[in-house]
Structure 1
Amino acid sequence: MPKTILGISIVAISLNVVLGAKILGLFPLPINSHRNLYTPLVQELVQRGHHVTVISPYEETIDSKNGSLRSIVLTGFVDWMTDGMKHVRTFDLADTNIFQKLQTVLTFLETMSEMTLGHRNVQRLIHSKETFDVVIITELLTHAHKALAPHFKAPLVSFSTIGLSSFTNLLVGNPAPPSYVPDLFSDYSSKMTFPERLTNSLMHLYTQVCFNWYVYPQQKELMKKYVPGEYDFDQVIHNISLVLLNSHPSINQPVPIVPNVIEIGGFHIKPPKQLPQDLQEYLDNAPNGVIYFSMGSNLKSAELPMAKRDTFVKTFAKLKQKVIWKWEEDVLPGQPENVKVDKWLPQSGILAHPNTRLFITHGGLLSTTETIYHGVPVLAIPVAADQKLNAQRITKEGFGLLLEYHEISETTLTQKLDELLNNPKYAKNAKECSKIFQDRLTGPMETAVYWVEYVIRHKGAPHLKVAGVDLPWYKYMLLDVGLFIVLSLVLSLYVFCKLTKILISLCVPSKSPKLKRS
């Protein structure tokens, strides 16, 4: 009995190390899809008894008898985003190349990074005397934000909403050979042709150059400007204790990951709630099934060009299936009888219904994750960001098809829908992917919380970091070794040629001059 009591006491003491921990979360991106990701994690940490401070564009609230939640609002961010998007035709992003996409992202994130650190509410916290047990930030190339970890004397957890990317690989020494790991902004699969591998490699090098000669210096200046104290920028950005990845092998291609990178894809998914009565009846009374169509929370179907919109309307009108369409305006011109529209729809609940036959989506990671979870076939129409990459994975796993935005027509749309609805292999493959996705040792949310608390318990868990994080990028990529080998070969060849020329001159007697006859 005494040993049992002692054991319980030891466990209680070890749990007290993390129960009631002070956690700071920085999630500045004013986009609903990102909010839908970090909110469940924050809520779970509060329910576990932690005291969480969240810096975000939204007023976050939660009722809990265990921990607490304090919201520091980045006022003005939502309006800034809304005003900025007024002049952007989002569907035109489908026609930009990967280099243009990267430059657009870098410019946007640079502005947001300075707005965040310079915000009066954030400055008030920075100049307080508070400390935290861990700092969690969204990994967005906003590296100056990472200085909040040493400033508040806390280990750093990076939260990647898009899975692995060049954003995080360089910071934790994670290998990502461009021979089979496509760039985030590309639409390549893991099996690339030679031209694709060449482009992917050039993109990899271009990213390195952008990061080291543009992003890092600019972020270093922001760190010095807004975060008091003397910090070594290289140490700040590489001192990441843990990376939480919104990925899983059933969604993303399998890649090597270092010990402090943890996959938690699907952590935000909860059992669907009861559907509204009208929607429940609409789905129940669909003998031929239902197609669900949504372009996500950032892309809006209502902003589709008229020709593209009419293509969907005319194609849907010819189907025997019902259609539920997320349409953000009051009226859909020419709305067919078999189409139901609404500005907001409970996506997970619709996908969970047994009569849902197909999901037409932009291929965003959250939508892709939810459709895999529920085992529903997909027609992916990617436009921007990682959507083309996700669409390639969908086709590779065989539970969906890709329709390029610029190829949308009544003919192509009808052909894709006929194939997906009438060929049973897509539904079968979707169910198989769902089984793989859900077959885990522990749930993804349990995994996420465990590792955050692990970092707190072990004071940053430095034993998980690989030596690659301490190497400059040119050493990590063995460029210095490659240069040495090339110079050595050139020098050896030069010496060989010189010696050969000397030996030839010694072995071959020179012709004696002819004597002139007198």
Structure 2
Amino acid sequence: MKFALAFLFFLVYNVQSAKILGVFPIPAPSHYILGSRLMRALAEKGHDVTVINPFGEKNPPKNGKYKDILLTGFKEMADERRKQQSFFERDVSNPFLTLGSMNAMVLEMTELTLNHTNFKKFINSKEIFDVVIVEQFMNEALKALAPHFKAPLITLSTVGANAWVNLLEGNPAPPSYVPHVILSYSSNMSFYERTVNSLMSVYTQLLNQFYVFPKHGELVKKYFPNAPPLDDIIYNTSIVLINSHQSTNQPVPYVPNMIEIGGFHVKPPQKLPKDIQEFLDGAKNGVIYFSLGSNIHSSQLPPEKRDAFLKTFSKLEQKVLWKWEEDVLPGQPPNVKLGKWLPQQDILAHPNVKLFITHGGLLSTTETIYHGKPVLAIPIFGDQKLNAKNIYNNGFGLYLYYEDLTEENLTKKLNELLSNPKYARNAKKRSEIFHDRLVKPIDTAIYWVEYVIRHGGAPHLKVAAIGLPWYKYLLFDVIVFVSVIIVFLVFMLFKCVKIVAALSCHKQKKEKLKNH
């Protein structure tokens, strides 16, 4: 019976090999991992896939077709910038300035993409595509590829729902309980936090309307002279694939064309390298896994911060597996093993791993939830503070802000996490929520991409909010109208009372005169 239903599902919903373009130009491994996972899965399903990216696929899928349009030089440029200024040296204390600099950086990256030799050669070819998938990351001009190839547009939000996605899809995001992605707030905000969050929401919209969108509109006119206006492009997204889930993100509203696929990049554990397997197997007291992700290099830690880790780790009975990008770690304790690159998902799957020290990136947070491991988050930038707060609020970990990182504070946090069993219990519970789904998230993503292809777009999923001017969406005209009516009625009531009072006073005067 199950086989018959599965075969019927295949007959109804299968899409014959389609031509799919993926656009993932950000030279950050964490962003590419998500784009690559989706595009590889589509190719393995039998589709003809082309991917614009800075990394290139070393082992392309064997099923279907897979082609890279390589943005040569992007990765090297990002590496050079990291050498010149590490993430530890960047000032992210002012979120308003941080947001502005992020938009400027991505604007520059977008034009470098549009002006790249391989990109221009590609768009001048006579290729035809059934759908275009673009990473949603403040790079609006790249969405002009959809009308250029006369194909529906899908976007992939690698950091979940955020101010940029919500604006373009008409998704409600009340600042009273939905924190901005670059703020470190939870849904339960204080008055001060709600004030800052509201100001940040307004600032983001103003920045988009008066800076980001006009600048990207200029890029569209320059590189796609026959394209429609930018507004007609960016508000015409068929669906948005959202890298979030109730187990990893706090619950927020979603309009129908926003599809949650959080955790779609996670794969079942693979065999570990021999030396790592032996190190983990031989850890009688367990292992702490320490990694600050692919963008942040722990080898660039300032000496005082690095020493805080070294002194703390040297006192532990547990072993420590540390992603360290250099050959040598000065003062390395005997219980610490280093690795320039480590298979994170497979390590977290090992039963002897008792704790994960992470920067709190969304991918790392998702992977630790998948495997049910407690966390100590040390957020540095971006959405990491928001993720760290979610980890703490959901009870499966603690956080320690980088600026507060000392041997004393680190030791205190680790001792609490290792000695209190509630964190491990909550991590396992969170993992159960992650896995309790009708369909695997990668299958959900494939289904909806094919859905858009089958229907030639999905305008029936869009809410009317995206076509409303701001004053209608916020009911500003209605509020003004009702306010005027109320003021008028109050004014008339006041006048009536005044007239009645005057008549009463006049009547009293007449009676007094009469009596005299």
**TM-score, with normalisation over the residues of structure 1?**
0.93
Quickly say closer, same or farther: Cα 1:65–1:300, change in 2 above 3 A.
Answer: closer
Quickly say closer, same or farther: Cα 1:503–1:93, change in 2 above 3 A.
Answer: farther
- From 352, 358, 362, the equivalent of 1:361 is 358
Name the aligned partner's letter for residue 83 of structure 1.
E
Q: How far apart are the structure 2 equivalents of 1:217 and 1:63?
A: 38
Q: Name the counterpart of 2:139.
A: 142
Q: Name the counterpart of 2:217.
A: 220
Q: How far apart are the structure 2 equivalents of 1:367 and 1:172?
A: 27
Contact 2:23–2:52 (8 Å) recurs in 1: yes
Q: How far apart are the structure 2 equivalents of 1:9 and 1:347?
A: 38
Name the aligned partner's letter for residue 282 of structure 1.
F
**Across the two proteins, how many residue pairs are aligned to each other?**
505
Q: How far apart are the structure 1 equivalents of 2:317 and 2:352?
A: 13
What are the equivalent positions in structure 2 for 1:80-119 lying under 5 Å apart? 80-93=77-90, 95-119=92-116
Q: Quote the offset at 1:486 in angstroms.
A: 3.9
Q: How far apart are the structure 1 equivalents of 2:367 and 2:227?
A: 44
Q: Quote the offset at 1:129 in angstroms.
A: 2.8
Contact 2:181–2:383 (8 Å) recurs in 1: yes
Provide, for residues 367-416 of structure 1, a one-character-per-residue CA deviation record: whole Å limited to 9, x for no partner.
Answer: 00000000000000001000001001100110000111111111111110
Contact 1:61–1:69 (8 Å) recurs in 2: no
Matched, 1:198 2:195: yes
Q: How far apart are the structure 1 equivalents of 2:194 and 2:506?
A: 54
- Decide which moves more: 391-400 or 458-467: 458-467
- From 52, 67, 71, the equivalent of 2:49 is 52
Q: CA RMSD in A?
A: 2.2
Q: Name the counterpart of 1:30.
A: 27
Q: Name the counterpart of 2:513.
A: none
Q: How far apart are the structure 2 equivalents of 1:93 and 1:475?
A: 40
- Decide which moves more: 68-77 or 445-454: 68-77
Q: How far apart are the structure 2 equivalents of 1:88 and 1:64?
A: 36
What are the equivalent positions in structure 2 for 1:3-22 lying under 5 Å apart? 15=14, 18-22=15-19
- Decide which moves more: 57-66 or 183-192: 57-66
Matched, 1:169 2:166: yes
Q: Name the counterpart of 2:295.
A: 298
> Which SS does the other structure have where 1:310 is aligned?
helix
Q: How far apart are the structure 2 equivalents of 1:155 and 1:213?
A: 27
Q: How far apart are the structure 2 equivalents of 1:30 and 1:249?
A: 28
Matched, 1:232 2:229: yes
Matched, 1:447 2:431: no
Provide, for residues 197-248 of structure 1, a one-character-per-residue CA deviation record: whole Å limited to 9, x for no partner.
Answer: 1111111111111111111111111111111314032221111101111111
Quickly say closer, same or farther: Cα 1:310–1:71, change in 2 above 3 A.
Answer: same
Contact 1:174–1:258 (8 Å) recurs in 2: yes
Contact 1:94–1:383 (8 Å) recurs in 2: no
Contact 1:94–1:405 (8 Å) recurs in 2: no
Contact 2:43–2:63 (8 Å) recurs in 1: yes
Name the aligned partner's letter for residue 98 of structure 1.
P
Q: Quote the offset at 1:279 in angstroms.
A: 1.0
What are the equivalent positions in structure 2 for 1:475-490 lying under 5 Å apart? 475-490=472-487
Q: Quote the offset at 1:141 in angstroms.
A: 1.3
Q: How far apart are the structure 2 equivalents of 1:117 and 1:65?
A: 30
Q: Name the counterpart of 2:3.
A: none
> Which SS does the other structure have where 1:163 is aligned?
coil
Name the aligned partner's letter for residue 203 of structure 1.
M
Contact 2:288–2:355 (8 Å) recurs in 1: yes
Matched, 1:275 2:272: yes
Contact 1:361–1:381 (8 Å) recurs in 2: yes
Contact 1:62–1:69 (8 Å) recurs in 2: no
Identity of aligned residues (%): 56
Q: Name the counterpart of 2:464.
A: 467
Point out where structure 2 has 5 or more consecutive residues left out of the alignment.
1-6, 511-516
Q: How far apart are the structure 2 equivalents of 1:202 and 1:468?
A: 22
Q: Name the counterpart of 1:383.
A: 380
What are the equivalent positions in structure 2 for 1:231-380 lying under 5 Å apart? 231-380=228-377
Contact 2:289–2:320 (8 Å) recurs in 1: yes
Name the aligned partner's letter for residue 335 of structure 1.
Q
Q: How far apart are the structure 2 equivalents of 1:99 and 1:35?
A: 27
- Decide which moves more: 374-383 or 408-417: 408-417
Q: How far apart are the structure 2 equivalents of 1:307 and 1:73?
A: 40
Q: Quote the offset at 1:126 in angstroms.
A: 2.3
Name the aligned partner's letter for residue 330 of structure 2.
P
Q: How far apart are the structure 1 equivalents of 2:142 and 2:361?
A: 26
Quickly say closer, same or farther: Cα 1:123–1:485, change in 2 above 3 A.
Answer: farther
Provide, for residues 130-176 of structure 1, a one-character-per-residue CA deviation record: whole Å limited to 9, x for no partner.
Answer: 22100000001111111111111111111000000011011111111
Contact 1:43–1:62 (8 Å) recurs in 2: no
Quickly say closer, same or farther: Cα 1:221–1:484, change in 2 above 3 A.
Answer: farther
Contact 2:220–2:227 (8 Å) recurs in 1: no
Quickly say closer, same or farther: Cα 1:105–1:480, change in 2 above 3 A.
Answer: farther
Q: How far apart are the structure 1 equivalents of 2:479 and 2:282?
A: 66
Q: Name the counterpart of 1:4.
A: none
- From 176, 184, 187, the equivalent of 1:187 is 184
Name the aligned partner's letter for residue 69 of structure 2.
I
Q: How far apart are the structure 2 equivalents of 1:169 and 1:432?
A: 30
Contact 1:126–1:227 (8 Å) recurs in 2: no
Q: Name the counterpart of 1:5.
A: none
> Which SS does the other structure have where 1:340 is aligned?
strand
Quickly say closer, same or farther: Cα 1:268–1:10, change in 2 above 3 A.
Answer: closer
Q: Quote the offset at 1:82 in angstroms.
A: 2.4
Q: How far apart are the structure 2 equivalents of 1:14 and 1:178?
A: 39
Contact 2:286–2:319 (8 Å) recurs in 1: yes
Point out where structure 1 has 5 or more consecutive residues left out of the alignment.
1-7, 513-518
- Decide which moves more: 471-480 or 170-179: 471-480
Q: How far apart are the structure 1 equivalents of 2:274 and 2:223?
A: 51
Contact 1:54–1:60 (8 Å) recurs in 2: no
Name the aligned partner's letter for residue 34 of structure 2.
L
What are the equivalent positions in structure 2 for 1:366-515 lying under 5 Å apart? 366-494=363-491, 497=494, 508-509=505-506
Contact 2:217–2:229 (8 Å) recurs in 1: no
